[in-house]
Structure 1
Amino acid sequence: MRVAIVHYWLVSMRGGEKVVEALCDLYPEADIFTLVYDESRVSEKIKKHKVTSSFLQRVPGAVRHYQSLLPLMPFALEGLDLSGYDLIISSESGPAKGIIPPPNAVHICYCHSPMRYLWDHYHFYRSTAGFASRLLMPILAPLLRSWDVNTSLRVDRFIANSHHVSGRIGKYYRRPATVIYPPVSVEDFAISAETDDFYLCAGQLIPYKRIDLAVRAFTKMGRNLVVIGEGKELAQLKRIAGPTITFLGRAPFSVLKEKMARCRALIFPGEEDFGIVPVEVMASGRPIIAFGSGGALETVVHGQTGILFDEQSEQALIEAVEAFEADESAFRPEAIRAHAAQFSTKSFLTSMRSIIAEELLARKASAYKTVATVAPRPRIVEETMPVPTLDMPAHPGLGEQAIVHAPQF
């Protein structure tokens, strides 16, 4: 069986790319297709596979400014040739499911999120975009939404990374989706014997993550906050930060792992579709203080593995931190880590194998049913044979004629 993995873009190693790595473990001989590819910023596991990028790769500056090429992405995806593949797994957050699958291939889409900038976060993205983008988005977005919905019909089975995303798939595509939580390498994290006096924010520094809430709140409280990550918000965040805020930029995994294990708690003020960072921190035995929406409702247990607050505001976050500190000793590292174990890579692979096998079997059964339906049935023809009478022996050519039905092929 020839397998293709289609990922929106391979320019860094975040949650979506961790899913691609797990799929590579599932299918070591699979080929990978993507819109743009930066070999220097992906893992060795991904680089071992044959990676094919789209024509966007040849556009100057595309690897760095790929998101500005969104209007061209439908053409780029449909230009990828997947002829001869039996199983296609698309990893969708940016556009990926829009490839044209061969007629006999099974196409399974693992959806991290319908494109946020076209759907539920459209107005937020437009309000924070540059002048040219604000002008163009109302013109281009309806066309891209229509293409996005139409290409959902090219998918045989949707898998969502959370119930939150499953609901959005149903809302925008009118398709059901099976929920399989993304893989988290919980075994890579461990409980530290000591903790330090700081809180942690980690992730891409972009507007919808709402790291600005954490920076403002912790500046106001005078509490120590360490921010790990890079993105277009970095300069603005530094401008509003007080002396208790430390920015580490893009830190190596060893530093990230240490900070996760030694922080008092992770601050998670954005709405995420799932949110891998909170699970990694819980695998380190540390609690989460999160905005109670999206994936956090499925990973964080209020009062046991963290604190959930109901409003994206500085005051709500400050109150959540104060509530946490009033009962900090009640959060047990071993219990928090045990909770995180359910989101392991092993659980992901087991569930994916089961769903893929089920879909392949359903396709095979459907093919057999189709063959049985269209196969020619025996034609009934009439032949005459003599019928023996009581006073003569049965012999062909004698007696009265009778109709005998016999199949003819």
Structure 2
Amino acid sequence: MSGLLVTEWIERSGGAERVLDVMGNAFPDADIRCLWSDPLSAFPTRQLDQSWLARTPLRRHKALALPLMPTLWRHVNAEWAYDWMLVSSYVFAHHVRLVGQDIPKYVYAHTPARYIWNPELDRRGDNPLVRTVAPIFRSIDRRRAQEATAIAANSEFVRDRIRRAWDRDATVIHPPVAVERILSRADWRTGVTDDEERRIIDRLPDSYVLGASRFIPYKRLDLVIESAARVGLPAVIAGSGPDEERLRAVAARVGVPVLFVIAPSDAMLYALMQRAAVFVFPAVEDFGIVPVEAQAAGVPVVTGPVGGQIETYVDGVSGITAASTDAADLADAISAAIFLPRFNARTATARFHEDIFTTKIRRFVGIEREVRQLRPSHSSQWPSSRRFRPAA
């Protein structure tokens, strides 16, 4: 059976990119369709088709391109005839329709588009113009969600959103996390090869609070810094993105040392996790892959009380749920997490293994065997996971 994988766009880092990687391994003969890909060589051995937006400056301005997306996805010309498509959607990719092809459409939903359904969680949707047109887009979005043969959600939290937004139920399939890779090395400092990263490791505090994600406002890394200051511990902030200047300004105002590690390698991030006293993740997240990685590295996590991330750990065992995302409540949770008994990292993260995701996503699409490669020119070489580096 010949399949098509559809995603919004491909960036250099992110959870959706990680999911696409593993979907590609699950369906090695499937082609890929997206609006644009950064970098252009993201999947060099696959048939990867992009929309005309890829040839315009709009690929650098998602907010400006958003109004065009619902229409673009309705008129996709495909070179091949497919038997099914699997759509990784967090904006409008689930609207996709192939011209002249009426095939089953399976949707893996990271979330209904926050721009129009939950603008309070995404500043790009929280402006008067977007709020004015949002009812129109919500009506279209709900109607086109009915076309899906079946829908999977990445968490119970998102499943509830889907019920409210689309009036559809969904099967929960948690995203894949590279837990086996993290568990495979007892000390990830030995895997760090970059000289500058080695120097950073040498000057790490003996005990610190870690925050790691893209540097964008809704990730609330400022709260990691402020809550660390309240418990009197240094903070280490790993990632990169447009919010860096603001975060450095916050760090300059608090009374504890704050070390920024920009665009860490995987090995460096895992080393930071293994050395941390606690990993703090204040964002209201659809799921939260990084908290699972932290647990695989053996560090307890602290999160706020709302979001899919609270499904990634057992409260009081491998993490603590703060009463709110106020810095004072996060600080109380940090103090509690530091004194948790040591937990079994393998047991805590076993349900998020990539192989479990692969089995479930094949079953979801109705293919429980290894998919045969129908066109010999397409191989199944997929790149390693990409992290917190912003698109070029």
When normalised by structure 2's length, the TM-score is 0.83
Question: Distance between the aligned counterparts of 1:156 and 1:10, measured in 2?
Answer: 24
Q: CA deviation at 1:97?
A: 0.6
Relative to structure 1, is the Cα distance of residues 97 and 304 closer, same or farther in structure 2, using a 3 angstrom cutoff?
same
Question: Distance between the aligned counterparts of 1:347 and 1:129, measured in 2?
Answer: 34
Summarize deviations over 1:354-409 as a string: whole Å, max 9, x none.
222279xxxxxxxxxxxxxxxxxxxxxxxxxxxxxxxxxxxxxxxxxxxxxxxxxx
Amino acid in structure 2 at the alignment position of 1:301 = V
**Does the 8 Å CA contact 1:261/1:285 hold for their aligned counterparts?**
yes
Q: CA deviation at 1:257?
A: 1.8
Report whether the alignment pairs 1:280 with 2:289.
no
Q: CA deviation at 1:98?
A: 0.9
Report whether the alignment pairs 1:302 with 2:299.
no
Question: Distance between the aligned counterparts of 1:293 and 1:134, measured in 2?
Answer: 23
Report whether the alignment pairs 1:316 with 2:313.
no
Question: Distance between the aligned counterparts of 2:142 and 2:77, measured in 1?
Answer: 21
Question: Distance between the aligned counterparts of 1:302 and 1:100, measured in 2?
Answer: 42
**Does the 8 Å CA contact 2:106/2:150 hold for their aligned counterparts?**
yes
Amino acid in structure 2 at the alignment position of 1:26 = A
Question: Distance between the aligned counterparts of 2:279 and 2:93, measured in 1?
Answer: 31
Per mean C-alpha deviation after superposition, the further-off stretch among 288-297 and 267-276 is 288-297
Question: Distance between the aligned counterparts of 1:177 and 1:55, measured in 2?
Answer: 32
Q: CA deviation at 1:305?
A: 0.5
Summarize deviations over 1:271-314 as a string: whole Å, max 9, x none.
11110001111111211111122222211111111111121101
Question: Distance between the aligned counterparts of 1:12 and 1:73, measured in 2?
Answer: 21
2:303 match = 290
- SS of aligned partner of 2:176: coil
Report whether the alignment pairs 1:157 with 2:167.
no
Amino acid in structure 2 at the alignment position of 1:113 = T
Unaligned runs of 5+ in 1: 360-409
Amino acid in structure 1 at the alignment position of 2:315 = H
- SS of aligned partner of 1:49: coil
**Does the 8 Å CA contact 1:12/1:41 hold for their aligned counterparts?**
no
Pairwise mapping of residues 130-209 of structure 1 onto structure 2 (< 5 A)? 134-190=127-183, 192=186, 196-209=206-219
**Does the 8 Å CA contact 1:192/1:262 hold for their aligned counterparts?**
no
2:8 match = 8
Relative to structure 1, is the Cα distance of residues 149 and 129 closer, same or farther in structure 2, using a 3 angstrom cutoff?
closer
Summarize deviations over 1:38-89 as a string: whole Å, max 9, x none.
12584xxx332111111111212x3332233111111222232246211100
**Does the 8 Å CA contact 1:11/1:63 hold for their aligned counterparts?**
no
Q: CA deviation at 1:21?
A: 0.8
Report whether the alignment pairs 1:239 with 2:239.
no
2:356 match = 347
2:72 match = 76
Equivalent of 1:331, from 331, 342, 347?
342
Question: Distance between the aligned counterparts of 2:134 and 2:284, measured in 1?
Answer: 22
Relative to structure 1, is the Cα distance of residues 196 and 151 closer, same or farther in structure 2, using a 3 angstrom cutoff?
farther
2:27 match = 27
What root-mean-square deviation, in Å, do the aligned CA atoms of Structure 1 and Structure 2 show? 2.3
Question: Distance between the aligned counterparts of 2:64 and 2:75, measured in 1?
Answer: 19
Aligned length: 347
1:398 match = none
Report which of the two has the higher share of strand: 1
Question: Distance between the aligned counterparts of 2:321 and 2:231, measured in 1?
Answer: 19
**Does the 8 Å CA contact 2:121/2:284 hold for their aligned counterparts?**
no
Question: Distance between the aligned counterparts of 2:206 and 2:33, measured in 1?
Answer: 43
Report 1 or 2 for greater relative contact order, CA contacts < 8 Å, sequence distance ≥ 6. Answer: 2
- SS of aligned partner of 2:117: coil
Query: Which structure: larger Rg?
Result: 1
Percent same amino acid among aligned pairs? Answer: 31
1:112 match = 110
Equivalent of 2:90, from 87, 93, 102?
93
